[in-house]
């Protein structure tokens, strides 16, 4: 398999100059991250006084604070819970829609995707007050599901777009064969379509994860105590008496990156495949 891929791909591009450009690009991207990791291992006093490429005194104390204080580590858990809920909801509603866009023409199909995207065009700050009102009517304030639903604003349009690409890469003959065999639509989805596009679901999950994980404005406004995610907790720690503890904040930030890196590691091979198919004709 690997050999075949390599040979079909070989020669697709001439040997190019500038082939080291991605390496430089990635290196530059990593510099600020490296600096933050560096900071997270420094004791409080060392951080804002001198620039050193490695900590003079290496300490794990910043991380220890986070792992021993529930108000810190629970915040990661809360964020993880609503992100997982959001991913599940987004994929569940996006899958049938993506199938419809991929297979049929119907009234409004051409422009509907644009209108899905248009839902992201309202500045989040204005949406906050109505959101708080809607979710308090529904008695959902300070629950994980409220944040998960609010984040559908960012994730559902993207999920539909990515899944549409994957479903379009499954030949339509497969639908017809299933219909001849007497499969109902739900059974076709679960038995045939979903296994076929499993990598696509992984990629979609990654993108939903990304947009939900990095969003903190809604997550902060819709939660008070029992579902408070990490970002606002960091903000609070930043405003504590006696100045900002940058070491602690750096350690907390480094930990926010880890779930995402794990996630991308699992879908890395499918990313390139996942986004490309669909209506590239």
Partner 1 sequence: MSRPVNHKSWLLVLPALFMVLLSAGLPLMAVVNYSVQDVFAGDQFFWAGTQWFEQILRDPDFQSALLRSLVFAALILIIEVPLGIFIALRMPPRGRLANFYIVLMCVPLLTPWVVVGLVWKLFINAESGLLGAGLNWFGITYNLDNPLVAWATIIVMDVWHWTSLVVLLCYAGLMAIPNAYYQAARIDGASAWSVFRHIQLPNLRRVLLIAILLRFMDSFMIYAEPFVVTRGGPGTDTTFLSVELVQTALLQFDLGRASAMGLIYFLIMLAVSWSLFTVMMRRDGEA
Segment lying near partner 1 (by CB under 8 A), choices 55-63, 67-75, 108-116, 192-200: 108-116
Q: Which of 153, 183, 199, 202 binds partner 1 (CB under 8 A)?
A: 153
| 43 neighbors 247 (Cβ within 8 angstroms) | yes
Q: Which of 75, 81, 48 is nearest to 255 (CA)?
A: 75
CA distance 266 to 209: 13
Segment lying near partner 1 (by CB under 8 A), choices 55-63, 66-74, 119-127, 176-184: 119-127
Measured torsion, CA atoms of residues 112, 188, 266, 86, in degrees rounded to the nearest 10: 50
| 223 neighbors 229 (Cβ within 8 angstroms) | yes
Q: Which of 253, 261, 247 is nearest to 233 (CA)?
A: 253
Residues between 34 and 93 with contacts to partner 1, criterion CB under 8 A: 34-36, 39, 47-51, 89-90, 92-93
257 binds partner 1 (CB under 8 A): yes
Q: Which of 29, 60, 64, 240 binds partner 1 (CB under 8 A)?
A: 29
What CA–CA distances, in Å, run from 100 to 103, 121, 175, 179? 5, 24, 12, 16
Task: Tell me the closest approach of the beta carbon of residue 152 to partner 1, in angstroms.
Answer: 5
Residues between 194 and 223 with contacts to partner 1, criterion CB under 8 A: 210, 213-217
Q: Which of 118, 177, 198, 240 binds partner 1 (CB under 8 A)?
A: 118
Chain CA centroid to CA 216, Å:
13
Q: How does DSSP classify residue 272?
A: H
Task: Tell me the closest approach of the beta carbon of residue 35 to partner 1, in angstroms.
Answer: 5
Task: Tell me the closest approach of the beta carbon of residue 12 to partner 1, in angstroms.
Answer: 5
DSSP secondary structure string for all residues of 10-38: TTSSPPPTTTTHHHHHHHHHHHHHHHHHH
Q: Is the CB of 9 or the CB of 242 nearer to partner 1?
A: 9
| 170 neighbors 177 (Cβ within 8 angstroms) | no
Q: Which of 67, 103, 190, 191 binds partner 1 (CB under 8 A)?
A: 103
Q: Which of 21, 88, 177, 240 binds partner 1 (CB under 8 A)?
A: 21
173 binds partner 1 (CB under 8 A): no
Residues between 230 and 249 with contacts to partner 1, criterion CB under 8 A: 230-231, 234-235, 246, 249
Segment lying near partner 1 (by CB under 8 A), choices 70-78, 174-182, 194-202, 251-259: 251-259
């Amino acid at each position: 398999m690997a050999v075949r891929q390599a040979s079909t791909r070989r020669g697709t591009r001439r040997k190019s100059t500038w082939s080291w450009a991605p390496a430089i690009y990635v290196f530059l991207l990593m510099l600020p991250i490296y600096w933050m990791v560096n900071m997270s291992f420094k004791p409080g006093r060392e951080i804002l006084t001198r620039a050193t490429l490695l900590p003079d005194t290496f300490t794990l104390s910043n991380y220890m604070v986070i792992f021993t204080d529930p108000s810190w580590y629970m915040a990661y858990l809360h964020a993880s819970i609503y992100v997982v809920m959001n991913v599940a909801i987004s994929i569940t509603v996006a899958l049938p829609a993506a199938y419809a866009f991929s297979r049929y023409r119907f009234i409004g199909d051409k422009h509907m995707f644009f209108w899905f995207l248009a839902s992201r065009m309202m500045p989040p700050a204005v949406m906050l007050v109505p959101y708080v009102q809607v979710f308090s009517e529904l008695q959902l304030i300070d629950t994980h599901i409220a944040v998960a639903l609010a984040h559908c604003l960012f994730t559902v349009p993207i999920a539909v777009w990515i899944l549409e690409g994957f479903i379009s890469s499954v030949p339509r003959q497969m639908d017809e064969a299933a219909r001849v065999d007497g499969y109902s639509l739900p059974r076709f989805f679960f038995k045939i379509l979903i296994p076929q596009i499993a990598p696509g679901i992984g990629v979609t999950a990654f993108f939903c994860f990304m947009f939900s994980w990095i969003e903190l404005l809604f997550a902060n406004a819709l939660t008070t105590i029992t579902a408070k995610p990490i970002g606002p907790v960091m903000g609070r720690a930043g405003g504590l008496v006696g100045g900002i503890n940058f070491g602690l904040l750096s350690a907390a930030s480094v930990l926010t990156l880890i779930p995402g890196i794990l996630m991308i590691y699992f879908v890395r091979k499918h990313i390139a495949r996942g986004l490309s198919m669909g209506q590239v004709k």
